[in-house]
Amino acid sequence: MAAFQALKAVAFAAALLTVPVCAFAQAEDTPESIPDFPGRDETFGYCVGCHSMKVVGRQGMNRARWDETLTWMTDKHAMPAPDDEMRKVLLDYLEKAFPPEAPKQGGGWISPFAPQK
């Protein structure tokens, strides 16, 4: 019985290795699919590695909330921490492209675990 449980655990672990870490990323996302402001390519590169840009477009937050979200993504979801200069580029873009009053773009999912307004 113990051997069966061990085999089952190994099979489960092997199955997990075949699932992409960032299963929410969408193949149809391109930098051109989001608003054209300075920092678009850099922001796209940071975000699309783990989720669709539709997720980003659905948030609509002020700069402080975007900053909290970048910290949350780094601390809780292993996003590579941007240096100070890159963080400014990302925040400048997100603040301009997806402000609170902006209409929600795309049909992206809003994470119930993201920092709330």
pLDDT computed for residue 49 by the predictor: 87
Over residues 18-33, the pLDDT tens digits come to: 444 454 444 578 999 9
Global pTM value? 0.66
Is 58:108 a contact under the CB 8 Å cutoff?
yes
pLDDT computed for residue 28 by the predictor: 77
Is 54:96 a contact under the CB 8 Å cutoff?
no
**pLDDT-flagged residues of the chain (< 50):** 4, 7, 9-21, 23-26
pLDDT computed for residue 104 by the predictor: 56
Q: Which of 16, 88, 18, 17 is nearest to 46 (CA)?
A: 88
pLDDT computed for residue 24 by the predictor: 45
